[in-house]
Chain A
Amino acid sequence: MQELGNRWTGKWINPLLRKELRQRMRSGRTILALSLYLFVIGAVAFVYMYVNVQGQTLILQPARTAELFTFLSYLQLALVSFVTPGIASGVISGERERQTLSVLLTTPLSPITIIFTKFISSISFLLLLIIMTLPLYSIVFLFGGVLPSQVLAVFGLQVVTLGAIAGISIFFSTLLRRTGWSTVFSYATVAILFMGFAIFGYLFDSVGLHSADESVWMHLAGICYALDPIYMQAGIETNLGLLSPSFNQSIVSSVFDVVNSHSLSGKESWLFFLAVYILIGVILLLISAWRLRPGSLTMVRKRVIRWMAH
């Protein structure tokens, strides 16, 4: 039976992935992190409901549930974006530092296999994390106001975001010798994605207000906002009717304004976001695989020298 299982998994799971998953799941940290995460999300949900339900009947308060869902989904987005670089920014530089890379590279596993396996194994933990919170959200469904398909749409965005962040982190991990630097650059990039784009969007908007051709600036601002997972998630949640002006908190309503003025809830923005993030992730992973091949640096150096000589 076990042999049959091995043969089956052997087809789908390459040896490196099996080893990585085994190592990851074996270390106590993984289990600890998962439990801690579930506990935090669970506690937040219960406290929120407890506070809101007090003195009232426990029945349907769709607006409140939508609010809770939005809050939890942002908590999850933040957590996932924060944890991904920590896991992925050491996958190749760590092998270099531990001096296991050269042996790995002399096996028949190709650089592409190695890089994509590292990618899968680093996001697997986060995917597991996201999937494990699904039952928790079912409590939210119980109260009504949120549909399972809505949850899936938001989670889809988060999966694409974390995939791109993992791709970026693995890229730095392959390019830079030290995990320390790779981690720094990965977090810096995440900061640009989350805050940099928002700031640029805001700047373009402000310039647009005082400019003759406002629409060009508005368009640029729209592109920036559409590449920011924070606003994009707000876009989806607006589209799903989760986010509405009825949230009369200033941050939420200002985000809502941006979403509306740049039509981030539309399909185009959503597809634009998906295309760019998936493309960035895939391209960076391919470059990483190429970089693992012997002589890649020499080749770049030669090209640069030839180009400079021109």
Chain B
Amino acid sequence: MIRVENLSKRYGKMTAVHSLNFDVRKGTVFGFVGENGAGKTTTLSILSTLMLPTSGRAYINGMEVTTEPGLVRRQIGFLPDEFGVYDDLSVREYLAFYGTAYGVEPALIDKRAAELLHLVNLEDRSEVLVNSLSRGMKQRLGLARSLMHDPPVLILDEPASGLDPRSRIEMREIIKGLREQGKTVLISSHILPELADMCDEIGIIQRGTLVACASVEVVNARVSGKRHFLLEVMSEGHRLAELLSRKSKVTEILKVDENKVEFIFAGSEADQVELIHELAMGGFQLKTFQELGGSLEELFLRLTAEEDAKAELIPKMA
């Protein structure tokens, strides 16, 4: 449904997107993860016909975004990362405007607007002026707006930014609902866990390059239960590392020096208590036993960097 081939975008000398390749199958949700400045918005803007790529091609439903932008626009509902609303329009009028702009049958507009307002939980606000809505409400209204013409493809740039935890969960449920309706969704975020729950596939973009791309099951299997720990001791760091590496629940030792060891631990909390106990019995003087936040992406990336994993995870990038 969405196909990206060798897509690159340069701003002057800066390469924002570098030879991107990925595919989003019909009816699936593709999560596009990357930190700030990774190139998510740039990619999504190209797909939404707002920007021309420097090179490469992108297709929406078989139509090329640069040569047939008019057709592509009817296929997509686009929610930009930051957007505003017009003054002096009510929520209902706002939706009606975009509906008519897309040529939706006048008879259908009110009905669809009402349905969508129900979907995004704003049905009691239909007569309120749009610029009086809160940021989170505007975000939800924006999603409703992008659905007014019932497009088969949705391109959502960080739809959860600025939402409170409850609204984030609601947004996730809405997107799952859209997948059930058979929509193809491309959604970006800088937080992997947020996407893991609603996506079929995840692509991680770093400095303009897609560094990993895998189905969400693989991501979950790779990442689940694995945590990143830091142990600080008075001395004997190397002996400690050696002991840890013999434990079956310790999957990887990341850093070792005289006073500290960082490692990946795949055990439960009970296993963790037991490990601490064992170490204490082994005569180590533990200063700290700390779980490092370490982003899930980082963990995931490191795991995918393992040679065997690579073959399994990135077959379609070839």
Contact = CB atoms under 8 A, between A and B. Distances in A.
Interface of A: 3, 6-7, 10, 15-16, 18-19, 22-23, 26-27, 98-100, 102-103, 105-110, 294-295, 298
Contacts of A15: 97, 100-101
B86 A100 contact: yes
A108 B52 contact: no
Interface stretch (B73-81, B167-175, B290-298): B73-81
Interface stretch (B87-95, B114-122, B213-221, B269-277): B87-95
A110 B83 CA distance: 20
Contact of B85 (A6, A26, A100, A106): A100
B106 interface: yes
Contacts of B243: none
Contact of B102 (A26, A99, A100, A107): A107
Interface stretch (B20-28, B43-51, B190-198): B43-51
Interface string B114-157: 00000000000000000000000000000001000000000000
A108 B103 CA distance: 8
12 contacts: A7-B106, A19-B86, A19-B93, A23-B89, A98-B85, A100-B85, A102-B78, A103-B98, A106-B49, A106-B78, A108-B101, A294-B69
A298 B80 contact: no
B73 A106 contact: yes
A41 B76 CA distance: 51
A6 B93 contact: no
A103 B49 contact: no
Given A102-B80, A110-B70, A295 B87 contact: no
A294 B100 contact: no
Contacts of B51: 294-295
B306 interface: no
Nearest to B45: A102
Nearest to B97: A19
B164 interface: no
B307 interface: no
B177 interface: no
B76 A106 contact: yes
A106 B72 CA distance: 9
Given A19-B93, A22-B93, A99-B80, A106 B86 contact: no
Nearest to B10: A298
Given A15-B100, A15-B101, A107 B73 contact: yes
Contacts of B308: none
Contacts of A103: 78, 80, 83, 98, 145
Contacts of A3: 106-107
Contact of A294 (B50, B83, B145): B50
Nearest to A114: B101
List the 7 closest pairs (A to B, CB-CB), nearest first: A15-B100, A295-B52, A99-B84, A98-B84, A107-B101, A23-B88, A19-B97
Interface in B54-82: 69-70, 73-74, 76, 78, 80, 82
A26 B93 CA distance: 13
A109 B50 CA distance: 13
B101 A16 contact: yes
A98 B51 CA distance: 19
B100 A26 contact: no
How many chain B residues sit at the interface, stated as a range, is 20 to 34
Given A3-B106, A102-B50, A107-B98, A27 B87 contact: yes
A9 to B, nearest CB: 10
Contact of A23 (B74, B86, B101, B106): B86
Contacts of A108: 70, 73-74, 101-103
Contacts of A98: 84-86
Contact of B89 (A22, A105, A109): A22
B291 to A, nearest CB: 40
Interface in B280-304: none
Nearest to A16: B101
A50 to B, nearest CB: 40
Contacts of B80: 99, 102-103
A27 B84 contact: no
Contacts of A19: 86, 89, 93, 97
B93 A100 contact: no
A271 B89 CA distance: 42
B82 A99 contact: yes
Nearest to B79: A103
A100 B101 contact: no
B128 to A, nearest CB: 14
Contacts of B100: 10, 15, 18
Nearest to B98: A107
Nearest to B85: A100
B86 to A, nearest CB: 6
A230 B133 CA distance: 47
B50 A26 contact: no
Contacts of A6: 106
Given A15-B101, A109-B101, A294-B50, A102 B83 contact: yes
Name the residue in A103, A109, A298 with the highest tally of chain B Cβ atoms < 10 Å from its Cβ: A103
A186 B170 CA distance: 47
Given A19-B97, A23-B89, 6 more contacts: A10-B106, A22-B88, A100-B86, A105-B49, A108-B102, A295-B51
B76 to A, nearest CB: 7
Contacts of B145: 103
A15 B97 CA distance: 6
Nearest to B103: A108
A106 B89 contact: no
Contacts of B52: 294-295, 298
Contacts of B76: 106
A105 B69 CA distance: 11
